[in-house]
Amino acid sequence: MSMGRFLLKRTLQGIFVIWGVVTAVFLLRFITPGSPITFVAPLDASQELRQQIARELGLNKPFYVQYLDYLFNLLQGDMGYSYISGTEASNLIFARLPATLELAVAASIVAVVLSIPLGVISATRRHEPADYAATSFSLVGISTPNFWLGIMLVLLLSVQFGFFPTSRRGIGLGPALGMLVTQAKISGLTTWLSHITLPAITLGTYFTALITRLTRSGMLDELGKPYVRASRAKGLPETLVRYKHALRNTLIPVVTVLGLQLGTLIGGAVITEAVFAWPGLGTLLINAINARDWPLIQGSLIVIGAGFVIINIFVDALYARLNPQVVH
Amino acid sequence: MAQDESASRRTFLKTAGAAAATASVAGCTGGGGQDTSTTTSGSDTTTDSGTGTTESGGENMGDFPVTITQGQMPSTLDPQNHRETPTDNVVLHAYEGLLARDRKGKAQAELATEWERTSDGVVKFQLREGVTFHSGNDLTPEDVAFSINRIVKEDVSIASPQSDQLSGVTGASVVDGERAVEVQSDGLNPIVFSLFATYCDIMEKQWVQDRSKSEVAKDMNGTGPFKLENYQENVQVRLSRNEDYWREPAAVSTLTFRAAKESSTRVNQLLEGETDVIVNVPPQEIGRVKGSGSARIAAVPSTRIIYNAMRYDAEPFSSPKFRQAMNYAIDLNSILENILSGFGDATGQPTLEGFTGYNSNVSAYAANKSRAETLVEESGHAGVSITLHTPVGRYLKDVEIAQAVSNQINQLSNVSCSVKQRDFGALAGQLTDGNLETSPKFYLIGWGNATFDASQTIIPLLTTDGALTSYSNENVDSTIQEAQNTGNADQRSSLLQQTNKTLHDEAPWIFLNRQYSVYGVSQSVAWQARRDERIDAYAMEPKQ
């Protein structure tokens, strides 16, 4: 199978996954306690007002009509209107997406930049102080709750020393880069960096620790394999053995985990978003769930599902590049 | 009047109960103050040259930006399509009502200069001259009538969730040849002016009609002291001073609203000077704010009461003695001191101090364990186990208060109590489905009453046909009906006080605390907190 067909197959599978998400969420809304009308109408609203609101939101229609209407509108790019705000769900979701992606990618960069060298050093200097330091770091990183780390970082680096803003996004990466390109001003980029640093570290620490451990164990495993001994016996330089052969094979599971984690971050950075008042998709989704704002819930899950699918296709492609046997 | 008298008690209470939407359990909009201009005679007229909602305005016309951080962003900018305090706090800087309230809740003029009852069920508002919308167009009686009808009539524009806030109002029309609007009600509607002092923001008819519902939700065009400059949905709202305001322009030059869900995040922002006013400072953070030197605490009793409802139709709560026992089991002062750090007042009746109908001769139940145990024995329910359902994070320290209540009940030798934490949506769904039997027998909830009138708490919560009732008592029903049908303010107040005494004795709730609004305020901003949970930036000035 060619790479093109391989990716096409994955894409089609992804579309079915998203359709499955939409269908599952539609089923869920009918078995989840709590009506959206409870949140749109006041608690003491008359039954007449509740019925009026139900009519306006289209909630009085049969399930299958609502479902088919939604699918039909979705195919035209219409995710419906938020029950709570009355505005387009797609606008609310896509306004949040850049902040979410920036944070997820920044956290992943923090994780990759720190964890792979740490894991390699830890594996190649086994039972040395560097190994102990790296494994201790990874243990602490995995054990530290995000919310606690975030609060501590803010109290220390923002409130105590004033190095960083306490919270908020400040400016988007796009406008910051725009300022740099069109006005030759770096202030936008420094503002962006100052705002994203602490959330990225908070979110990235767990993944740094996780991938450090994964890289270390992977490297140790690879370095003990016969092909490494053979390479060494052939007289290949140790650097080449470690970084061209052993590390490359170690990266296959690392890339897979990174891809999955990046997908998780798109919808799951709720705690970090709350601590840093970061306007991301996770908070939007949780608020929508709490308010039973189904158009927003469905739209958010579609976008998160699509994010997972895209990332997984990308990871599959990368996986295939690292190990061409996958395609076949 | 005759029309009202002919109405059946059930019809009356159903209408009034359903319409008593002046408050809500779920963090709804505020307001407050005595209905000083409520009259029954057609000749009574109230006038005011109009100082408006607050007592400030800009002597200082320089640059004075202010940022306010709430727990959540406004859900919409349509002032008539929501029921949330955080949304009101934003939109009421751009939109205004016919009447308004001052900081302490007293009703006063805003876009209306005179208001009078012309007959039973009909009132007239004379409109202020020289008021323009942010669009530049003049305020007209047509705009006012449209705004009222947009709320109370589904076919005008939207099914407004505020229709119940204008209790009993059926519509509005322009008075021929006058700059005035006539508002019709179903029945006497004795608190109609009080309702208009709290609710009904005026919009420009043509502006609304030219826009879709979604567009109205993302833009603002009112007559208020601030104009919308920039709106990033769910991120921030920025307003700028309206230089053409009908009163003195505000001292605040630009007003930015942001949100941070976590209270510690809000406090950090305040202490670092990233914001100027924050809401809901929790008791554990108060010391940090006070000790910072850069910020202070501004706290004020709100219009919200926290209570534990006990369903009258379910054992063991069907016994008045058992319900009284639960009140005696609670050490309310300990809860106020240890959980709320003093930011709360004890209650002993459903009506808060300062409201019309508050009975000053009624005190909170004093903790008395032995009396509680005796009453439980006498009720015949000794040995019973009960479960207190509580929402999580909906009200200040709700779970902690519920746990304290449960622990104190558990200290009785003949009752055991546990706490069940509930998702607010699911709990609210059970309470509002119109079937009392699906509600938990025993639950913690809060109720905000923005009108400062006892009826707007008692009718929805404690009458037989109340929209959110847990209690039924013929005596209470008939007294409330009588109060709502009387035009004599003193007599009405007396009837409401009598009802409060009955309710204290019958103990349909465990009466808990009056919630406080606790703000953190930058030392650079001069501002006093309001009782109605509204944050009014027009009243802010730079601190000298």
Tens of pLDDT along A129-173? 999 999 999 999 889 988 899 999 999 999 989 999 999 888 899
Helix (H, G, I), strand (E, B) or coil at B503: helix
Dist. CA B482–CA B455, nearest whole Å: 11
Q: What is the pLDDT of residues B443-499, one digit of tens each?
A: 999 998 888 899 989 998 999 988 889 999 999 999 999 998 887 889 999 999 999
Q: What per-residue confidence (pLDDT) applies to B29?
A: 31
Q: How does DSSP classify residue B258?
A: E
* Whether A198 contacts chain B with CB within 8 A: no
Distance of CA A181 to the CA centre of its chain: 28
Average pLDDT over residues A233-254: 88
* Whether B28 contacts chain A with CB within 8 A: yes
- Is B3's pLDDT higher than 70? no
Average pLDDT over residues A271-294: 88
Backbone angles phi, psi at B372, to 5 degrees: -60, -45
Residue of B11, B29, B153, B432 to mutate, interface with A, max A Cβ within 10 Å: B432
CB under 8 Å to A219, separation ≥6 — which residues? A119, A120, A122, A123, A124, A242, A246, A247, A250
Q: Report the chain B residue with the minimal C-alpha distance to residue A283.
A: B261
Share of chain B above pLDDT 90, in %: 68
Residues B446 and B306 sit within 8 Å (Cβ to Cβ): yes
Q: What is the pLDDT of residues B296-310, one digit of tens each?
A: 999 999 999 999 999
Q: Cβ A46–B164 below 8 Å, yes or no?
A: yes
- Is B19's pLDDT higher than 70? no
Q: What per-residue confidence (pLDDT) applies to A268?
A: 63
pLDDT band at residue B46, thresholds of 50, 70 and 90?
very low
Q: Which residue has the tokens 């200040």?
A: B396
- Is B517's pLDDT higher than 60? yes
Q: Which residues are B519's β-sheet partners?
A: B298
How confident is the prediction for chain B on average, in pLDDT? 87
Peptide bond into B316 cis (omega under 30): yes
Average pLDDT over residues A226-245: 90
B284 vs B412: which has the higher pLDDT:
B412
Partners of A175 on chain B (C-beta within 8 Å) are none
CB under 8 Å to A174, separation ≥6 — which residues? A98
CA dihedral A237, A239, A244, A247 (to 10 degrees): 140
Q: Cβ B432–A55 below 8 Å, yes or no?
A: no
Q: Residues B430, B434, B439, B444: is their CA dihedral positive or negative?
A: positive
Q: What is the pLDDT of residues A136-145, one digit of tens each?
A: 999 998 899 8
By Cβ distance, the residue of B76, B425, B461 closest to A39 is B425
Q: What per-residue confidence (pLDDT) applies to A215?
A: 94
Average pLDDT over residues A282-310: 87
- Is B9's pLDDT higher than 50? no
Closest-CA distance, B411 to chain A, in angstroms, reads: 33
CB under 8 Å to A61, separation ≥6 — which residues? A69
Q: Cβ A167–B265 below 8 Å, yes or no?
A: yes
Q: Report the chain A residue with the minimal C-alpha distance to residue B263.
A: A275
- Is B25's pLDDT higher than 50? no
By Cβ distance, the residue of B28, B159, B233 closest to A87 is B233
pTM of the model: 0.82
Residues 76-105 of A with CB under 8 A from B: 81, 84-88, 91-92, 95-96
∠ at Cα B125 (B124, B127), nearest 5°?
A: 150
Residues 140-179 of B with CB under 8 A from A: 154, 158-159, 161, 163-165
Q: What is the pLDDT of residues B53-100, one digit of tens each?
A: 444 555 556 899 999 999 888 989 999 998 888 899 999 999 999 999
Dist. CA B525–CA B278, nearest whole Å: 12
Dist. CA B294–CA B521, nearest whole Å: 9
* Whether A154 contacts chain B with CB within 8 A: yes
Dist. CA B352–CA B335, nearest whole Å: 18
Q: Report the chain B residue with the minimal C-alpha distance to residue A32.
A: B426
- Is A56's pLDDT higher than 90? no
Contacts across the A-B interface (CB distance below 8 Å) = 157
Task: Look up residue B535 and give its two tokens.
Answer: 């944050």
Backbone angles phi, psi at B472, to 5 degrees: -145, 130
Q: What per-residue confidence (pLDDT) applies to B404?
A: 97
Closest-CA distance, B383 to chain A, in angstroms, reads: 32
Q: Cβ B164–A42 below 8 Å, yes or no?
A: yes
Burial grade of A35 (CB within 10 A; 0-12, 13-18, 19 or more): buried
Range of B3-17, B109-123, B162-176 with top mean pLDDT = B109-123
Q: Cβ A87–B467 below 8 Å, yes or no?
A: no
By Cβ distance, the residue of B17, B233, B260 closest to A277 is B260
Dist. CA B83–CA B166, nearest whole Å: 13
Residues 264-283 of A with CB under 8 A from B: 274-277, 279, 283
The beta strands (E) that lie in B132-195 are given as: 169-174, 180-185
Q: Report the chain A residue with the minimal C-alpha distance to residue B424.
A: A290
Residues 50-69 of A with CB under 8 A from B: 50, 52-53, 55-56
Q: What per-residue confidence (pLDDT) applies to B485?
A: 84
By Cβ distance, the residue of A41, A167, A283 closest to B161 is A41
- Is A121's pLDDT higher than 60? yes
Neighbours of A186 (CB within 10 A): 12
How confident is the prediction for chain A on average, in pLDDT? 88
Q: What is the pLDDT of residues B196-242, one digit of tens each?
A: 999 999 999 999 999 998 999 999 999 999 999 999 988 899 999 99
Q: Cβ A166–B25 below 8 Å, yes or no?
A: no
Among candidate residues A63, A37, A67, the one with its CA nearest the CA of residue A51? A37
Residues B520 and B295 sit within 8 Å (Cβ to Cβ): yes
Q: What per-residue confidence (pLDDT) applies to B479?
A: 95
Residue of B14, B257, B268, B278 to mutate, interface with A, max A Cβ within 10 Å: B268
Q: Cβ B265–A292 below 8 Å, yes or no?
A: no
Closest-CA distance, B71 to chain A, in angstroms, reads: 10
Integer CA distances (angstroms), B312 to A79, B320, B389, B437, B442, in order: 45, 8, 16, 11, 10
Q: Cβ B426–A87 below 8 Å, yes or no?
A: no
Neighbours of A291 (CB within 10 A): 22
CB under 8 Å to B425, separation ≥6 — which residues? A33, A34, A38, A39, A290, A291, A292
Task: Look up residue B325 and give its two tokens.
Answer: 């026992």
CB under 8 Å to B282, separation ≥6 — which residues? B263, B396, B397, B518
Q: Cβ A167–B259 below 8 Å, yes or no?
A: no
Partners of B218 on chain A (C-beta within 8 Å) are 87
Residues B119 and B105 sit within 8 Å (Cβ to Cβ): no
Got the DSSP string for B296-328? EEEEEEEEEEEEEEE-TTSTTTT-HHHHHHHHH
Residues 243-272 of B with CB under 8 A from A: 258-262, 264-265, 268-269, 271-272
Dist. CA B458–CA B325, nearest whole Å: 22
Q: What per-residue confidence (pLDDT) applies to B188?
A: 82
A52 vs B509: which has the higher pLDDT:
B509
Whether the complex's predicted ipTM surpasses the cut of 0.95: no
- Is A324's pLDDT higher than 80? no
Q: Cβ A52–B214 below 8 Å, yes or no?
A: no
Asked which of A91-95, A193-197, B13-17, B527-531 is least confident by mean pLDDT, the reply is B13-17
Average pLDDT over residues A75-86: 88
Q: Which residues are B66's β-sheet partners?
A: B255
Residues 462-491 of B with CB under 8 A from A: 466-468
Q: Cβ B272–A155 below 8 Å, yes or no?
A: no
- Is B331's pLDDT higher than 90? yes
Closest-CA distance, B422 to chain A, in angstroms, reads: 11
Task: Look up residue B265 and give its two tokens.
Answer: 């995040």
Residue of B68, B75, B394 to mutate, interface with A, max A Cβ within 10 Å: B75
Q: What per-residue confidence (pLDDT) applies to B279?
A: 93
Residues B90 and B237 sit within 8 Å (Cβ to Cβ): yes
Q: Cβ B432–A92 below 8 Å, yes or no?
A: no
B310 vs B427: which has the higher pLDDT:
B310
Q: What per-residue confidence (pLDDT) applies to B541?
A: 95
Closest-CA distance, B212 to chain A, in angstroms, reads: 10
* Whether B423 contacts chain A with CB within 8 A: yes
- Is B27's pLDDT higher than 50? no
Partners of A158 on chain B (C-beta within 8 Å) are 268, 272
* Whether A171 contacts chain B with CB within 8 A: no
Residues B308 and B513 sit within 8 Å (Cβ to Cβ): no
Got the DSSP string for A26-95? HHHHHHSSS-HHHHHS-TT--HHHHHHHHHHHTTTS-HHHHHHHHHHHHHTT---B-TTT-SBHHHHHHH
Q: Report the chain A residue with the minimal C-alpha distance to residue B154.
A: A52
Dist. CA B499–CA A199, nearest whole Å: 55
